[in-house]
């Protein structure tokens, strides 16, 4: 496929907003692509070069792209900046100056060049990137130039996600969405939309499903817990269960393989949103010392430890490691421990279809007793009272309560069925909302009085509803000076002139002074949820409080409309329980 043809598909996608229309155009794009190029086509259509876990990023800011446009079209940078101010989009600036004819460069060739540019590091790399990008830009027709300019600076944003592409794959194969469930099964094992499309296009969906298995180095979508706060209902829905402690840490999926040549082992750590955070955990290099296996994929909760008290530190303290440049020193300041609670692969064999009890048995056999990689305790029961007593005990010990897991359940990625359930009370919210809500920050309003110094007074927060984020609350009270400073620094880098396409319309009373790109995820507590006509989510989180920044979560993993509905239902049940009406 020529890039000019690809750009016309992007033009179509840019002009529509209805999900069904977007899905059909993507299906047409998939059908028009060959097996050899389909992965590159889909990566570029999402404005990326690869999925998160591969760590290939553009690192091209608008300032650099201004230099690219200036160099390509021989225009003074001041003129480019002035045009940018008027048009509000560097893509439109390129569109205005591009040659009407352009070249016939292919998507594959352009993609390979972009990967080489992204991987160029070291002294003089910025200048080289500008030169290479400007060379490509100069050869493109106006429509191609517009979208090529937007891609490296992260401004493509056509309003669809991986989930829409999964629907489009089904449409491309059979003309409807009947294969969606099968394709989603592949995605859970292989969360790489380009690679999935390549395999399905080459081998078909059934062969792809039959041959898909966990692989060391290929992150798997983690299994997630549902919400239930009634132990009696847990037993009713799940039968015999295992009760585990819930730690206030960061989810870490550990991939390990010994190197037979005597070199360092292959070790990778992935977060729940599939980002590679291996540098954050140098301790992982010691894992081989405590294994009775050559290769494993482990599921764990990483917790920071106070070196003086030997107690677990809070989540925000733990996450400081991620922002520190001197990881060695950070390891001394915040020692780490991995609480292992599952194993999904060992020595070439997948354990995902084994029952919980079998997986825990294997985990105990594989891990040698040590203080760095600790296998969680668990209690098997079919009595609600055991869940209650363990929950209260663990809360009193400073943990987050319990996670309840169905004893005879396999490992299923995502939040499906009643296999895992979390029972978590937010400290100080007894009788209030039974759990927290993870929201994306959509925009913010200027501060007044003392907060004028911070540049932010309150922010608008939203939750996910399919492809859109819908507002659910405004947060202004209960923010510390430190939180305001952190928010201000992070959000000012994300400001955009117009409401991002990912956001549903916002009531006029709620429109912020500044819109920001969907990037920052925050965990909010609240007194309760009420039905709302102002907030597009249909509910409002009342008396919201910022619990913490969730840097371990991607915006795609924010709380969904469906989950909020369940929370609203749980809230009503708790109210009735309190007054003995049921």
Q: Which residue has the higher pLDDT, 404 or 430?
A: 404
pTM score, whole prediction:
0.75
**pLDDT over 90 for what percent of the chain?**
61
Q: Does the pLDDT value for residue 376 go beyond 50? A: yes
> Cβ distance 574 to 229 under 8 Å?
yes
pLDDT at position 465: 92
pLDDT at position 323: 54
Among 201, 246, 406, 474, the one annotated catalytic: 246
Residues 6 or more apart whose CB falls under 8 angstroms from that of 403 comprise 225, 243, 244, 245, 246, 420, 421, 422, 423
pLDDT tens for each residue of 444-502: 998 776 666 677 889 999 999 988 999 999 998 777 888 888 898 899 889 988 899 89
CA–CA separation, 310 vs 102, rounded Å?
64
> Cβ distance 383 to 269 under 8 Å?
no
Q: Which residue has the higher pLDDT, 315 or 542?
A: 542
Mean pLDDT of the residues in the chain: 89
246 catalytic per annotation: yes
Residues 6 or more apart whose CB falls under 8 angstroms from that of 532 comprise 472, 538, 539, 540
pLDDT at position 73: 95
pLDDT at position 576: 39
Q: Which residue has the higher pLDDT, 327 or 288?
A: 288
Q: What angle do CA 204, 210, 216 make, to 5 degrees?
A: 110
Q: Does the pLDDT value for residue 503 go beyond 60? A: yes
- Mean pLDDT along residues 70-76: 95
Q: Does the pLDDT value for residue 572 go beyond 80? A: no
> Cβ distance 394 to 247 under 8 Å?
no
Q: Does the pLDDT value for residue 577 go beyond 60? A: no
Give residue for tokens 């290479």: 132
pLDDT at position 227: 81
At 171, the pLDDT band (50, 70, 90 cuts) reads very high
pLDDT tens for each residue of 521-546: 999 988 889 999 999 999 999 889 89
CA–CA separation, 4 vs 109, rounded Å?
13
> Cβ distance 525 to 547 under 8 Å?
yes
pLDDT at position 203: 92
CA–CA separation, 312 vs 247, rounded Å?
9
Instruction: Express the helix, strand and coil content of the chain in percent, nearest 5 each.
Output: 40, 20, 35
Answer positive or negative: Cα dihedral of 489, 60, 438, 26. Answer: positive
> Cβ distance 524 to 439 under 8 Å?
yes
For 77-205, where are the E strands, in sequence order?
A: none
CA–CA separation, 273 vs 282, rounded Å?
20
Answer positive or negative: Cα dihedral of 168, 170, 174, 178. Answer: negative
CA–CA separation, 549 vs 526, rounded Å?
15
Across 89-93, 225-229, 258-262, 277-281, which has the greatest mean pLDDT?
89-93
| 66, two tokens | 């201004």
Q: Does the pLDDT value for residue 167 go beyond 70? A: yes
At 161, the pLDDT band (50, 70, 90 cuts) reads confident
| 531, two tokens | 């039905």
| Chain centre to alpha carbon of residue 293 | 30
CB under 8 Å, gap of 24 or more: what pairs does 330-336 form? 331/282, 331/283, 332/307, 333/307, 334/304, 334/305, 335/304, 335/305, 335/307, 336/281, 336/283, 336/302, 336/303, 336/304, 336/305, 336/372
- Mean pLDDT along residues 266-283: 89
pLDDT tens for each residue of 319-344: 776 654 555 555 667 888 999 999 99
Give 310's DSSP letter: -
Judged by average pLDDT, the poorest of 87-101, 294-308, 420-434 is 420-434
At 202, the pLDDT band (50, 70, 90 cuts) reads very high
- Mean pLDDT along residues 390-408: 92
- Phi, psi angle pair for 573, to nearest 5°: -65, -40
pLDDT tens for each residue of 7-35: 999 999 999 988 899 999 999 999 999 99
Question: In 10 A of CB 377, how many CB atoms?
Answer: 11
pLDDT at position 427: 40
At 74, the pLDDT band (50, 70, 90 cuts) reads very high
Helix (H) or strand (E) holding 473, with range, is strand 468-475
| 63, two tokens | 């300032």
Judged by average pLDDT, the poorest of 125-134, 153-162, 362-371, 436-445 is 153-162
- Domains along the sequence of the chain with CATH: 229-423 (3.30.470.30), 437-578 (2.40.50.140)
CA–CA separation, 448 vs 457, rounded Å?
7
pLDDT at position 330: 55
pLDDT tens for each residue of 113-156: 999 999 998 899 999 999 999 999 999 999 999 999 999 998 88
Judged by average pLDDT, the poorest of 53-62, 128-137, 441-450, 570-579 is 570-579
Please, what's the largest Cα pairwise distance for the chain? 77
Q: Which residue has the higher pLDDT, 263 or 515?
A: 515
pLDDT at position 23: 95
């Amino acid at each position: 496929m020529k890039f000019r043809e690809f750009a016309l598909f992007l033009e179509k996608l840019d002009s529509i907003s209805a999900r069904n229309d977007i899905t059909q155009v993507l299906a047409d794009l998939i059908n028009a692509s060959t097996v050899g190029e389909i992965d590159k086509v889909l990566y570029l259509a999402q404005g990326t070069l690869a999925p998160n876990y591969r760590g290939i990023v553009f690192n091209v800011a608008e300032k650099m792209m201004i230099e690219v446009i200036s160099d390509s079209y021989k225009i003074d940078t001041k003129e480019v900046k002035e045009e940018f101010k008027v048009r509000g989009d560097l893509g439109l600036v390129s569109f205005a100056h591009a040659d009407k004819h352009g070249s016939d460069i292919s998507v594959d060739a352009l993609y390979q060049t972009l990967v080489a540019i992204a991987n160029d590091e070291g002294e003089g790399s910025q200048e080289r990137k500008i030169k290479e990008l400007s060379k490509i830009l100069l050869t493109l027709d106006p429509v191609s130039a517009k979208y090529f300019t937007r891609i490296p600076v992260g401004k493509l944003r056509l309003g669809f996600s991986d989930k829409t592409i999964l629907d489009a794959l089904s449409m491309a194969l059979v003309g409807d969405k009947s294969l969606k469930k099968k394709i989603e099964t592949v995605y859970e094992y292989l969360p790489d939309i380009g690679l999935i499309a390549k395999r399905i296009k080459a081998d078909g969906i059934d062969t792809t499903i039959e041959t898909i298995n966990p692989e060391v180095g290929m992150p798997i979508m983690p299994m997630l817990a549902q919400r239930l706060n009634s132990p009696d209902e847990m037993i009713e829905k799940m039968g015999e269960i295992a009760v585990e402690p819930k730690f206030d840490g960061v989810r870490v999926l550990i991939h390990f393989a010994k190197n037979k040549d005597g070199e360092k082992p292959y070790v990778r750590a992935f977060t729940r949103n599939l980002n590679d955070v291996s540098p954050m955990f140098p301790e992982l290099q010691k894992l081989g010392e405590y294994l009775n296996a050559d290769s494993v994929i482990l599921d764990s909760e990483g917790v920071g430890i106070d070196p003086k008290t030997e107690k677990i530190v809070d989540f925000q303290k733990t996450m400081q490691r991620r922002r520190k440049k001197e990881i060695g020193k950070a390891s001394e300041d915040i020692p780490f421990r991995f609480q292992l609670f599952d194993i999904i692969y060992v020595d070439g064999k997948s354990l995902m279809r084994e029952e919980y009890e079998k997986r825990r048995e294997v985990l105990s056999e594989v891990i040698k007793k040590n203080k760095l990689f600790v296998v969680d305790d668990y209690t098997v029961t079919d009595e609600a009272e055991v869940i209650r007593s363990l929950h209260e005990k663990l809360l009193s010990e400073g943990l987050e309560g319990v996670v309840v897991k169905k004893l005879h359940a396999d490992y299923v990625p995502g939040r499906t069925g009643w296999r895992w359930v979390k029972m978590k009370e937010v400290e100080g919210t007894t009788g209030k909302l039974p759990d927290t809500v993870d929201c994306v920050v959509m925009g913010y309003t200027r501060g007044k009085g003392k907060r004028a110094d911070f540049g932010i007074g309150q922010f608008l927060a939203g939750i996910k509803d399919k492809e859109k984020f819908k507002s659910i609350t405004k947060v202004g009270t209960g923010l510390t000076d430190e939180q305001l400073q952190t928010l201000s620094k992070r959000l000012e880098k994300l400001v955009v002139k117009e409401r991002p396409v990912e956001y549903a319309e916002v009531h006029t009373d709620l429109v912020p002074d500044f819109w920001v790109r969907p990037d920052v995820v925050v965990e909010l507590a609240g007194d309760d949820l009420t039905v709302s006509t102002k907030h597009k989510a249909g509910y409002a989180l009342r008396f919201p409080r910022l619990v913490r920044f969730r840097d371990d979560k991607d915006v795609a993993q924010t709380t969904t409309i469906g989950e909020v509905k369940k929370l609203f239902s749980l809230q009503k049940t708790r109210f009735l329980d309190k007054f003995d009406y049921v």
